[in-house]
Structure formats: C-alpha cells, structure tokens
Amino acid sequence: MHKRFQATLMMALMALMLLTGAQWAGRVTATTTATASAQLASLPASDIIIYVDTQRLVSDTLPNFLANDPALIAKVNAKLDRFQKETGIDPRSFDSLSIGLRFNAPSAGGDFKFVALAHGNFNAASLIDTAFETARKKENIGREEQTYEGKKIFVLTRTRPQDENAAPSNKTDAHRMAVAEMDASTIAFGDLESIRATVNPGSARVEQSLVDLATRTPNAFAGFAGNLPPGAAKSFRIGDGRADKLAASVRQIYGSLSTAGTAAETVLGLRTENQDQARDLAQAINGLKLISKLGFGGDKSGARKAEAEAFSNLIEDLSVTSQGEEVEIKLNTTQSEIAPLMRRF
C-alpha cells in the first residue's frame, strides 16, 4: 500500500514540475535578477517567497511555446479577453508578481499569512476601484477604508449578511483580506496584518539569504525559496516512518524555472540538516522514480498511450543528486517531449 501511495505521489510531483515548466517555457527576455531581487526584498519577513515575471509569461513565453498550435493560442487569448471583459482588468498589464508566505505558530491555529505585490503598467488606484466595483456587483463584497503609515488600506467586507445557516467566521481583524496602493503602479493584497507589515517601513523584511536563493538561477523568470520551521513537515505524511522522517529533515527549499529557446529547465532544491539525510533523501526519491515509471505501464492506446510514454520518458530523464546537505531535483523538457501532455489543455 505504501509503495502504491509513493508511486502516486511521485507521479503527482512529476506532473506538477512538467506542467509548470510546460506552461512557462519560452524565450528568455530582459528581466534582470536585480529587478526580481529588489521586488522580493520589499516583502515583509516571510518563510517562503515566490517571484513570477507575469508579463513575460503572457506576452512572450506562452505565445512562443504554443507557436505551433494556433488553436491553443487563440484559446488562451480568449480566456484573457474574457477575464478583462468580466473584471475590467487587463491581465496583460501586469509585469510581475512577488509573494510572501509566513507560517503561523501552532498556538495561533497553524495555517499561514500571505501578501502579494503586483507591479505593472496600470494605475494602481483605478485598478483597485475597478476590482472592488466588480466584486461588489458579483460577490457582494465592499470595502472599509483605513489609514496606516500614511497609506490607505481597503479591507474587504460583505455588503449584506451571509446566509444565516453559514458557519460564523473565526477570522480576527488582522486575518481579514485587504488591499493597498503602494505606489502608482504597484498594489499589495493579502491579509490585513501582512499588508500593514508591508506598508510599515519599520517592519522586518525578507532575509537576504532567501532572496539570493530565489534568484540564484540567471535568466530564470520564476523562482522561489523558503525556510521550513520544524513543525511544518509534520502534516506531510507519506505513509512510511522512514520516509516521513526524511521529509521532516528538510529545512529549506528553493527552485527556479528558466528557458533557452524551446527548452525549459525546472529546478527544485532541498536542504536538510546534514549530509546523511540529504544522501538518504536523494536515494528515496530515486527509488520513487522507478516505482512511478513502472506505474505508467499497462494496456493503453491512442492519446493515453502517448501521454504515458511522455511521462515515462521525462521521469527517466529526471535528475536527482545530493551534495553536502542539499538535494537537487532537475527536469529538462522541450516542446516536442511534452506535446502529448498539452492536448488536454
């Protein structure tokens, strides 16, 4: 039972890496590491940080990656146009997205807080007004205005009572969702406590070591890094005592998505407490690779057979190595290799 679960887990991880790399494969553009670093460094203290060059994704990456499939390009553009029509917000006007996540202590109910900074070619005040007007009409959501550190913060509210049979919300004021205009072309949204920390110039910022990890791959258009507190891995149950212990030994994660021509590279790094844990974790992941690859066998035909073969070949090419306290999982893909998997989109 444990092996079957592990194989399923590995297939899910492979699918995530493949599809993420597939959707963001394309040409390298001029977004610099310095830009990503500066934007991530403006986030409040966070356990996990993520950066995505959204303009590159929408305007360059997807069109080039899907150049041989005009029908799919048309489908993507239609969805973007529909989003703009329904919300009044042009998704193509966003340049980048920087996200910070912070774990709550178990005594505070676990879970996490978050804030996202969206930069773009838009008027921040107008975008906020448009978003709230759409939310008011479609979701009965309004806003309360606060002033904090000289900036306006808008807290989301409901313009009419919720269903009387609905369970009461246990959110405190600090956990309520909010949005703020950081400057003329930047908005911040997330829980109120995180928004206040973002606005307050005296609040602690992201560790520089995390920013360096998230931007360590030159020309990557998406990257992330994070510190995992000791209790964070307790909820990750693989089903095997040794495997659970190895998963719990991971203290730091990082990764990136980068492209060159029609090839994409996805990297996931795991830092453990010591070299022995890293070596054992790499061996365990390589073992799951074999089990997962075997799981793509069986009687298949047509499109399903092509998809199974594509997954199997990519798993075969997946590189898992360890050096010191680090485990590196690397996946290189090309358009032709993942073409069978794109038919579902």
Phi-psi region of 199 (alpha: psi -120 to 50; beta: other; left: phi over 0): alpha
In 211-237, which positions are buried (b, 16+ CB within 10 angstroms) versus exposed (e)? bebbbbbeebbbbbbbbbeeebbeeee
- Low-confidence stretches of the chain (pLDDT < 70) are 1-32, 65, 105-110, 159-175, 231-244, 260-262, 291-303, 306, 335-345
The amino acid at 281: L
Q: What is the pLDDT of residue 293?
A: 59
- HEC profile of 97-136: EEEEEEECCHHHCCCEEEEEEEEECCCHHHHHHHHHHHHH
Q: What is the pLDDT of residue 96?
A: 93
pLDDT of res. 48: 95
**Quick one: pLDDT at residue 56?**
82
The whole-number pLDDT of residue 159 equals 57
pLDDT digits (tens, 9 = 90+) for 104-144: 765 445 578 999 999 999 999 999 999 888 888 888 888 99
Residue 248 CA from chain centroid, whole number: 21
Strand partners, 245: none
What pLDDT is attached to residue 14?
A: 41
pTM score:
0.79
Boundaries of every domain in the chain: 1-25+228-345, 43-206
